[in-house]
Homo-oligomer: A and B are copies of this chain.
Amino acid sequence: MKPVTRKSLLFLAAVLPVFSRQVLAQNPVQYVNPIIGTMKMGHTFPGATVPFGMVQLSPDTDTIPYAVNGRYHPDVYKYCAGYQYNDPTIVGFSHTHFSGTGHSDLGDFLVMPTQGKLQLNPGVATNPASGYRSAYSHANEKAEPAYYSVKLDDHNIQAELTATNRVGFHKYTFNNGGDAHIILDLMAGIYNYDEKNVWTFVRVENDTLITGYRQTNGWARTRYMYFAISFSKPIKSYGYSSDHRNVYGGFWRKFDLNHNFPEIAGKNIRTYFDFDVKAGEAIQMKLAISPVSTQGALANMKAEVPHWNFNQVKAEGQALWNKELSKISINTIRESDKVNFYTSLYHTFLGPTTYMDVDGSYRGLDMNIHQAKGFTNYTTFSLWDTYRALHPFFNLIQPSKNADMVKSMLAHYDQSVHKALPVWSHHANENWCMIGYHSVSVIADAILKGATGIDAEKALEACVNSARWKNYDGLGWYMQLGYVPEDKNGSSVSKTLEYAYDDWCIAQLAKKLGKTDIYNEFIQRAGSWKNVYDKQTGFMRPRLSDGSFRDKFDPLDTHGQGFIEGNAWNYSLYVPHAPDTMIAWMGGKKNFARHLDSLFTMELPDKYFENTEDISRDGIIGNYVHGNEPSHHVVYLYNHTGQPKKTQKTVRMILDSMYRPLPEGLGGNDDCGQMSAWYLFSALGFYPVAPGADEYQLGSPLVKDATITLENGNTFTVETVNQGVKNVYVSKVEWNGVPLKTTAIRHSDILKGGKLKFYMSAK
């Protein structure tokens, strides 16, 4: 257990006797520990942000280049969130981060305060004195929702960060007097391809106001981010370094461009701003961002932080968090479960992020500026991950925001030259990561669960067009043959299975809208999973375009077996929309349950996944991979075999082993909140096996009780009787006092409000 966590727990222990349950529920911020997941695979960041905030202001401990001279650098994966808990130095604080992803980008506008001799390069971690970076200690680090502070040892500066939606607020207290520098490094960034920067542009508008932007070619191919900086104290002098050719053609001789020249542009610019400070003096800085323009950034700053009261911004940010986190109030067996629960809830609210200015304007896929009319435009859709539990969780806890996310996806569709919904999109770019067209799941699930304000006809059109795009990733073959042939397109089995599920979602939406033709087309496609099931081996198996199954086949291996980031053992179970048929095909309930038992208990040697970045030993139970997404529904399949007790027991085991209140506590990438959403559903006792269906499968709640305030004003309560660490089995479940006859509960029933009561037992 690491210092910060221990500290949190000590803090908990200290305050617990004082507050009643109700008071605690009103201050869930205290249970959130943003450090959880920042070590190893979690890829979360510890910095300051508000719920769904555009600014996510966080320390970067290093940002290994993605590639140098075109060669991939293996360590880049570690730095998807810019911060690794074990690193000894902080390079600076940047304003945009992904939370929990397995691929990297962003890291815009890295700021670092220093003292003494100006150094305009970051230096190296083994010798922080070689650059502007600084050593720090976790003992001097504090991470809370909307607040982060750390002492920068090399410069003896106390750095404090808070944020509004679009503004990062920095407070640097200089313990020593003398020359102070604030560095704005426009070269720094996450996923630093050796040529990531395309252009940077900086204007010193006056002695306290800086504006500018950066264009990058990182994971997002054509990405712009604009900023406006306001300093609390006038700049004494400033300058920059650049590796670019002279910034003004042949006419640079007119000026001293190196000192106090207020227009700077080029490819790789680092700027610095000098101040005189007294010992103990604080310089504050607001940095607003905009996807549109520097005008937009400035307007965002004026609208959101028209003052210099750091504590007010922090308090308002934490109040926002308390408001969102208080949508669920819980009692738990152990206090550490509250930390896990509210930190998970916190992580689910870190994305998708707001992507528009205060006036509603935002950059579209076509690089034009669009206006979000009647909705908040969001970005960062890690859909292969988040369609599974995060968006379904939002349909329960954040239905209005989820509806806006759907509207954002439909805006993407409108702007798409392919007329396709997002696959993995961020910051006005489609990066095409992973597989499937899972936007359709998010859209169908939202509409079927009663989301309002979405043009359903248009949404269906977008789903159908996305699913009929023949040039997309083997889809033409799939439409022709009923499966993606491995000899034509890799990861063919994963694609076939996920397309089939997505098609089922489209069919459900079509049915709701009375579009029989579309329903018939897609419900037929939804059965395509059968085309890759190999009765002989009992696994889903890659098939060739001639109709035969591919010879070489190892169902344990994650590499080159027709799957993506998973092996046949895990991925073969991916028929979430037809589990009963699948189980029947796979030998019936009994055999299937035994198959699942093997999955959770057999041993998976390292060699089968060691080259797959997204899978690590920490996220594996037997051969079951919880640290990555494809099997997230699997534990609930026991319910379909008549052995729900195994679901119950295993869920509790996963909750305990895969989510620990530690820096290294997450066994896999949090993936923009998907991993956390799994925790939250499961801790509440149910899970959406097939988003798009009205149904949740029941598991075994971890909470003692939970009260969910629904957006429609109703209250949904989970209660347990005889809850305990060992009482993981459910002997009876009542819905509003009536015993349930199945292992499922309907979303539509939950919406009406009511009480779900679990009777727990140790057997």
Q: Which residues in chain A, 278-300, are within 8 Å of chain B measured between CB atoms?
A: 293-295
Indicate if the CB atoms of B198 and A433 lie closer than 8 Å.
no
Shortest beta-carbon distance, A434 to chain B, in Å? 9
- B residues near A490, Cβ cutoff 8 Å: 253
Task: Return the contact of A215 from the options B199, B254, B366, B433 (Cβ within 8 A).
Answer: B199
Q: Are A366 and B211 in contact (CB under 8 A)?
A: yes
- Size category of the A interface is 35 or more
In the bound complex, residues from chain B placing their C-beta under 8 Å from that of A741 are: none
When C-beta atoms are compared, the residue in chain B nearest to A67 turns out to be: B245
Q: Using A249-B431, A366-B294 as known contacts, say yes or no to A198 and B195 having CB atoms under 8 A apart.
A: no
| A103: B residues at CB distance < 8 A | 249
A710 at the interface (CB under 8 A from B): no
- Whether A221 touches B203, Cβ cut-off 8 Å, given contacts A295-B368, A369-B293, A432-B254, is no
Contact of A431 with B248 at beta-carbon distance under 8 Å, contacts A198-B199, A490-B253 already known: yes
Query: Which of B218, B251, B262 is within 8 Å of A432, CB to CB?
Result: B251
Q: Is the CB of B472 within 8 A of A255?
A: yes
Contact status of A201 and B245, CB under 8 A, knowing A255-B473, A263-B417, A472-B254 = no
- Closest B residue to A415 by CB, please name it: B203
A642 CB to closest chain B CB (Å) equals: 41
Interface pair B222/A199, CB less than 8 Å apart: yes
Are B367 and A255 in contact, CB atoms less than 8 angstroms apart? no
B-chain residues with CB within 8 Å of residue A255 when the two chains form the complex: 432, 471-473
Distance (whole angstroms) from the CB of A162 to the closest CB of chain B: 28
Q: Is A219 an interface residue (CB 8 A)?
A: yes
Given the known A-B contacts A213-B367, A294-B368, A366-B294, are A249 and B219 also in contact in the complex, defined by CB atoms under 8 Å? yes
In the complex, A490 Cα to B252 Cα: how many Å? 13
**Separation of A366 and B418 alpha carbons in the complex (Å):** 33
Q: How many Å lie between the Cα of A222 and that of B212 in the bound state?
A: 12
Residues of B with C-beta under 8 A to A571: none
A120 within 8 A of B: no
Query: Is the CB–CB distance between A198 and B201 below 8 Å?
Result: no
Interface string of A214-253 (1 = CB under 8 A from B): 0101110110000000000000000000000101110101
Q: Any chain B CB within 8 A of the CB of A551? A: no
- A261 (CB) vs chain B CBs: closest residue: B471
Residue of B nearest to A203 (CB): B417
Assembly CA distance A261 to B219 (angstroms): 19
Proximity string of chain A (408-424) to chain B, C-beta cutoff 8 Å, 1 when within and 0 when not: 00000000011000000
**Given that A70-B245, A193-B245 are contacting pairs, would A221 and B367 also be in contact in the complex, using a CB cutoff of 8 Å?**
no
Tell me which residues across on chain B come within 8 A of A367, comparing CB atoms: 201, 213, 293-294
Would A248 and B221 count as touching, CB distance under 8 A? yes
Residues in B neighbouring A245, C-beta threshold 8 A: 70, 193, 195
Give the complex CA separation of A580 and B15 in angstroms. 91
Residues of B contacting A745 in the complex (Cβ-Cβ under 8 angstroms): none
Closest B residue to A262 using CB positions? B417
* Cα A432 to Cα B255 with chains together (Å): 10
Interface membership of A256, Cβ < 8 A:
yes
The residues of B that contact A70 with a CB separation of less than 8 Å are 245
* A50, CB-defined interface residue at 8 Å: no
Q: How far is the CA of A260 from the CA of B418 in the complex (A)?
A: 11
CB distance from A499 to the nearest CB of B (A): 13
> A201 touching B213 by the CB < 8 A rule?
no
Q: A198-B199, A417-B205, A418-B262 are in contact. Are A293 and B368 (CB under 8 A)?
A: yes
A265 touches B368 (CB 8 A): no
Asked whether, in the complex, the Cβ of B432 is within 8 Å of the Cβ of A248, the reply is yes
Q: How long is the Cα–Cα vector from A247 to B217 in the complex, in angstroms?
A: 9
Cα distance, A45 to B187, chains bound together (Å): 40
* CB closest chain-B residue, reference A260: B471
Closest to A247 in B: B221
Does A556 sit within 8 A of B, measured CB to CB?
Answer: no
Could you tell me the distance in whole angstroms from the C-beta of A37 to the nearest C-beta in chain B? Answer: 24
Q: Which of A320-356 contact B (CB under 8 A)?
A: none
CA distance A432 to B257 in the complex (A): 13
What are 24 sample pairs from A and B whose C-beta atoms fall under 8 A apart? A193-B245, A195-B245, A198-B198, A198-B199, A199-B199, A199-B222, A203-B417, A205-B417, A219-B249, A221-B247, A221-B265, A248-B431, A251-B432, A251-B433, A253-B490, A254-B473, A255-B472, A255-B473, A260-B471, A261-B471, A263-B418, A293-B367, A294-B366, A294-B367
CB-CB nearest 6 A-B residue pairs: A251-B432, A254-B473, A295-B368, A262-B417, A203-B417, A293-B368
Known: A251-B432, A295-B368. 7 other contacts (CB 8 A): A193-B245, A213-B367, A215-B215, A221-B249, A249-B431, A255-B432, A294-B368
